[in-house]
């Protein structure tokens, strides 16, 4: 293996951002005829990539990003949820989704500066096979695969191809399980070497030796993991009686952009409104210790937000009683059937930086 220099590793997170935005813009243009809505797969994709674009533009996104933040894209990529070509899901969409996931997962996309690494990997792999497998034992399909790999190396050296290439042009590699001696236990580390080469050559991954380390966001804001919606789901199931009804309600709840500092006055207004309703309808002597603590924590957040002492989101473990969703959810249900929705909105603004519902703009 050749030495891996800083020039081979390349730029920092700005390169990953640019690669992600290129795929996001492509996908947006493909599906922009669809409304941004949780009601359709195309609409959900637009909401998801729109969120990623905002987080990247604000330099809030680390690379790799936790899988909980990109599960919508991953699900659509692996399950074909976007439909067929008549819905806009053409082959280039599949490629763009896959490459976007590669960037978000921290695997990175192969660049021309990586080609010497791939050439070195191919040389090392060929040498490993020669040292450990008798020529008489090599299968015809394996000889063909080695010849095709050598051809790829020569084409890279002569600047005749760009990676990734299609397996259709190198058919011996279509079924790696047929290359028995390349996976044999007698070929030390052979399976891993073969896998790393094929991921770069046929799928466009950054060669493993040249992968960048984890890259923190220049202006971090995200929680490590995305919001855990199971408490909301369970609450909605209890209210609506069925999972489909609950998920329909949840889809309505989760629409919207991410919270910005210009939204803070709206959040303060919401919390103040909510606390006044609690004081009006829930007698102090009837409140549990957990409820009293959660309300105190909410008042503290409101005051600190009003005086510009904190930014949202805040960490759940700093406000454990308030962070336990069910502590306050529903305490006003006797007086307002939509109390759970009001509290849910405040909860996800405080802990997950979801923007306020537009109706609150007129309530300030």
Is 263 in the same domain as 315? yes
Digit-coded pLDDT (tens) for 82-115:
767 666 677 889 899 999 999 999 999 999 999 9
List the structure tokens of 220.
């971090």
| Among 328, 330, 323, CA closest to 350 | 323
**Considering the chain, what percentage of its residues have pLDDT values greater than 90?**
46
List the structure tokens of 203.
């799928």
Is 17 in the same domain as 85? yes
Alpha helix (H) ranges present in 41-169?
Answer: 41-57, 71-79, 91-104, 115-132, 140-157
Q: By three-state DSSP, how is residue 236 classified?
A: helix
**360 within some domain:** no
**15 within some domain:** yes
Structurally, how many domains does the chain consist of?
3
Q: At what angle do helices 115-132 and 140-157 cross, to 10 degrees?
A: 150
How far apart are the C-alpha atoms of 72 and 63, rounded to whole Å?
Answer: 17
* Last-in-domain residue among 105, 125, 153: 105
pLDDT the model gives residue 364: 34
The answer to whether the beta carbons of residues 168 and 79 sit under 8 Å apart is no
Is 273 in the same domain as 343? yes
- 361 pLDDT band, cuts 50/70/90, is very low
Is 92 in the same domain as 147? no
Residue span of the structural domain in which 272 resides:
229-353
**68 within some domain:** yes
**364 within some domain:** no
Is 42 in the same domain as 131? no
Digit-coded pLDDT (tens) for 7-65:
999 999 999 999 999 999 999 998 888 888 777 788 888 888 988 998 899 898 999 99
Is 346 in the same domain as 261? yes
Digit-coded pLDDT (tens) for 211-259:
999 999 998 876 556 656 666 666 666 766 666 666 555 555 555 556 7
* Last-in-domain residue among 89, 105, 121: 105
* Last-in-domain residue among 143, 176, 210: 210
Is 126 in the same domain as 99? no
């Amino acid at each position: 293996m050749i030495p891996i220099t800083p020039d081979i590793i390349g730029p920092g997170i700005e390169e990953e951002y640019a690669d992600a935005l290129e795929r996001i813009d492509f996908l947006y243009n493909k599906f922009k005829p669809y409304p941004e809505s949780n009601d359709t797969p195309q609409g959900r994709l637009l909401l998801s990539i729109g969120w990623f674009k905002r987080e990247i533009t604000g330099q809030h996104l680390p690379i790799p990003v936790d899988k909980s933040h990109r599960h919508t894209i991953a699900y659509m990529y692996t399950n074909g949820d976007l439909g067929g070509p008549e819905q806009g899901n053409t082959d280039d969409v599949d490629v763009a989704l896959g490459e976007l996931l590669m960037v978000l997962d921290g695997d990175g996309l192969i660049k021309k500066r990586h080609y010497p690494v791939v050439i070195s990997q191919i040389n090392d792999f060929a040498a490993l096979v020669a040292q450990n497998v008798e020529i008489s034992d090599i299968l015809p399909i394996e000889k063909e695969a080695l010849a095709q790999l050598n051809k790829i190396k020569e084409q890279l050296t002569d600047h005749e191809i760009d990676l990734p290439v299609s397996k259709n042009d190198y058919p011996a590699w279509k079924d790696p399980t047929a290359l028995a001696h390349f996976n044999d236990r007698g070929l030390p580390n052979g399976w891993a070497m073969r896998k790393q080469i094929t991921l770069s050559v046929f799928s466009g991954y950054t060669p493993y030796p040249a992968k960048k380390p984890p890259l923190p966001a220049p202006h971090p804001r995200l929680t490590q993991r995305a919001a855990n919606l199971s408490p909301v789901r369970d609450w909605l199931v209890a209210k609506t009686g069925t999972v489909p009804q609950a998920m329909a309600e949840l889809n309505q709840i989760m629409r919207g952009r991410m919270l910005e500092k210009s939204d803070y006055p709206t959040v303060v207004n919401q919390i103040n409104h909510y606390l006044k309703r609690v004081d009006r309808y829930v007698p102090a002597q009837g409140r549990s210790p957990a409820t009293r603590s959660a309300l105190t924590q909410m008042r503290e957040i409101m005051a600190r937000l009003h005086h510009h002492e904190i930014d949202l989101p805040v960490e759940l473990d700093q406000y454990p009683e308030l962070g336990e969703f069910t502590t306050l959810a529903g305490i006003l249900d006797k007086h307002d059937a939509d109390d759970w929705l009001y509290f849910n909105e405040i909860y996800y603004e405080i802990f997950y930086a979801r923007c306020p519902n537009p109706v609150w703009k007129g309530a300030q």
